[in-house]
Amino acid sequence: MALQIGAISQKGGVGKSSIARLIAREYAVAGWDVKIADLDIAQATSTNWKQRREQNGIQPEIAVEPFRTVTQALKHASVYDLVVFDGKPHSNRETLEIAQACNLVVLPTGLSLDDLMPSVLLAHELVEAKIDKAKIVFALCRVGDRDNEIDEAREYVRKAGYQILAGSIPEKTAYRRASDVGKAMTEISFLSLRQRAEEVAQSVIDRLSKEG
């Protein structure tokens, strides 16, 4: 049975696809056979990213396939070591199905209450729907340069009763440019930004290796 990790949110633009690709890349570089299940078929963000990645000859190879439903994606899961579900926004049913299928679901969120409140609400809904709280983890994405804002967001999530990944991903042009050429956030040349992304990815890996 493949390991399954989801990146989910009810909102668009929070960093689901970026986080999914980050996680996929970090496992792939460690030798795992990884597939991203791109469930946002209207946007096909990760599917298009994979094409750019291939065109630019970036290694390691990461399989990406668009799927209309979680059930479809699961049918193809067993041949991989890891399937990362890149979720679509505004979809209660699919989001819950991803959470049910996955060993871990990452909820990327920005720092504003406009982002944090719906993210916590989604986590509450998942718990109400019998998803184990321990499988849910928040990731701070597109953050600014104020440490106190980051600390307050961490506190907000913690007080709501949820875990949060170590580190945070700043909002930076370099990440967008990297994505434009088919790279993941740990594949950019700026050392400090690569390390920020590595810290977040490592936090996912630590969580899952502890479990196993």
Ligand X SMILES: Nc1ncnc2c1ncn2[C@@H]1O[C@H](COP(=O)(O)OP(=O)(O)O)[C@@H](O)[C@H]1O
Q: Which is nearer to Mg ion, 35 or 156 (CB)?
A: 35
What x/- string results for residues 3 through 42 when contact with ligand X is judged by CB under 6 A? ------x--xxxxxxx------------------------
Which of the listed partners (Mg ion, ligand X, none) does 169 bind, with a CB threshold of 5 to 8 Å by partner kind?
ligand X
Phi then psi for residue 168, to 5 deg, are -160, 155
Within 13 A of 37's CA, how many CA atoms are on the CB side? Answer: 30
User: Which residues between 92 and 151 bind Mg ion (CB under 5 A)?
Assistant: none
Q: Which is nearer to ligand X, 147 or 211 (CB)?
A: 147
Does residue number 16 form part of the binding site for Mg ion (CB under 5 A)?
Answer: yes
CA-to-CA dists, residue 202 to 26, 119, 205, angstroms:
8, 22, 5
User: Which residues between 35 and 74 bind Mg ion (CB under 5 A)?
Assistant: 40, 45
Q: Which is nearer to Mg ion, 60 or 89 (CB)?
A: 89
Give the nearest distance from C-beta 38 to Mg ion in angstroms: 8
Choice from 169, 188, 200, 201 touching ligand X (CB under 6 A): 169
The residue sitting closest to Mg ion, measured at its beta carbon, is 17
Binding interface with Mg ion (CB under 5 A): 16-17, 40, 45
Which residues are at the interface with ligand X (CB under 6 A)? Answer: 9, 12-18, 45, 141-142, 169, 171-172, 175-176, 179
